[in-house]
Amino acid sequence: MSERYDVAIIGTGPAGLSAAITLKIRNKNILLVGSKHGSDKVGKAHEIQNYLGMPAVKGADLASAFENHIESMGIEITEDKITSVYNMGDYYSLLSKTNKTYEADAVILATGVSFGKPYPGEEAFLGKGVSYCATCDAPLYRNKTVAVIASTPQEEAEADFLQEIAGKVYYIPTYKGEVQVKPEIEVIHEKPVSIEGEQKVQSLVLADRRLDVDGVFILRESVSPANLIPGIEMDGNHIAVNRRMETNLKGCFACGDIVGAPYQYIKSAGEGNVAALSAAGYLDLRERTHQY
């Protein structure tokens, strides 16, 4: 059986790390999922001038300070990617890219806003040929034809894995640079336009051609929250929250860029603290209620 955590935090940017620190202080058993190197956006920033107490700090130095703080408190980061979160009533079940399942009594979403605008047909065919996780869904496409739309070079390994199972793999990189995938994979440098079909996916339309496929794997840095967790209320492209960082789903909180502008590191860190305090309060109240 999966270990049950008090709180699962998805994202290791300023919001997620801040939430983890606060929950650690509150003696909660946490799962922190993301990159052990934190946010690339922080690390690559040239200079940050409005982070309190650290004037004109370089992004790499701020990222290093974040990392040192997390390590000093003994907080571990699980390097994985959550592809689906399901509300099970009194807890949440999280499915990862590595096909692992995690469970938590509460969830804090701090994934940022790196997800792209959905392609026409993407949401309509979700679960009907559109997938965000090659490791999870590859067995469904044994000896079939699939297309992979990839936003980063890290997804090349996913395409290689798919090639071992699928009959034919098209790889469409939306990033610049050399692509290194297995020679059997056909690399196409064209812009994806839409996903089409009737009851299920039948084709991927590119700028200058149409590919007949059985499935389309869309591998972005993060999944749109509307697709990540069914039933969550959105405000445009962001998750709708109140001042306590509560979403419309009981036990689910969100913070940082994913809840809207301004996209500032100090704002994200503050919201992470608020989300963590709200999650801790939610768990404490639930525990007291269950005692009677």
pLDDT of residue 1: 60
Mean pLDDT of 161-186: 94
Q: Check whether residue 9 and residue 71 sit in a common domain.
A: yes
Q: Which of 219, 250, 266 is the last residue of a domain?
A: 219
Strand-pair category, 234-235 with 238-239: antiparallel
Q: Check whether residue 255 and residue 270 sit in a common domain.
A: yes
Residue 123 lies in a domain: no
Amino acid letter for position 2: S
Q: Check whether residue 101 and residue 242 sit in a common domain.
A: yes
Structural domain total, the chain: 2
pLDDT of residue 75: 97
pLDDT of residue 49: 83
Q: Check whether residue 200 and residue 237 sit in a common domain.
A: no
Mean pLDDT of 172-177: 92
Q: Which of 183, 204, 219 is the last residue of a domain?
A: 219
Residue 50 lies in a domain: yes
Output the CA–CA distances (angstroms, integers) from residue 105 to 5, 176, 272, 283, 290, in the order listed.
Answer: 6, 40, 18, 8, 14
CA separation for the pair 257, 264 (Å, rounded) = 8
Mean pLDDT of 179-186: 96
Q: Check whether residue 232 and residue 179 sit in a common domain.
A: no
Mean pLDDT of 276-281: 98
Query: 59 lies in which domain range?
Result: 4-115+222-290
Q: Which of 186, 219, 252 is the last residue of a domain?
A: 219
Distance of CA 180 to the CA centre of its chain: 24
Whether 290 has a pLDDT exceeding 90, the answer reads no
Pair of tokens at residue 23: 């929950």
Euclidean distance between the first and the last CA atom of the chain, given in angstroms as a whole number: 28
Q: Check whether residue 12 and residue 91 sit in a common domain.
A: yes
Axis-axis angle for helices 59-72, 14-25 (nearest 10): 20
Instruction: Output b/e per residue, 13-36; b: 16+ Cβ within 10 A.
Output: bbbbbbbbbbbbebebebbbbbbe
pLDDT above 90 as % of the chain: 71
pLDDT digits (tens, 9 = 90+) for 74-132: 999 999 989 899 999 999 999 998 889 999 999 999 998 765 678 999 988 988 999 88
Which comes out higher in pLDDT, residue 220 or 81? 81
Q: Check whether residue 20 and residue 99 sit in a common domain.
A: yes
Q: Check whether residue 51 and residue 92 sit in a common domain.
A: yes
Residue 78 lies in a domain: yes
Q: Are 22 and 113 in contact (CB under 8 A)?
A: no
Residue 135 lies in a domain: yes
CATH number at residue 10: 3.50.50.60
Q: Check whether residue 171 and residue 208 sit in a common domain.
A: yes
| Of 83-92, 131-140, 198-207, 261-270, minimum mean pLDDT range | 131-140
Q: Are 110 and 9 in contact (CB under 8 A)?
A: yes
Phi, psi dihedrals of residue 269, rounded to the nearest 5°: -65, -40
Give DSSP secondary structure letters for 247-279: -SSTTEEE-GGGG-S---HHHHHHHHHHHHHHH
pLDDT digits (tens, 9 = 90+) for 223-258: 778 888 999 999 988 999 999 999 999 999 999 999
Closest CA to 212 of 223, 203, 200: 203
CA separation for the pair 290, 292 (Å, rounded) = 5
CA angle 169, 119, 98 (to 5 degrees): 50
Whether 205 has a pLDDT exceeding 90, the answer reads yes
pLDDT above 70 as % of the chain: 97
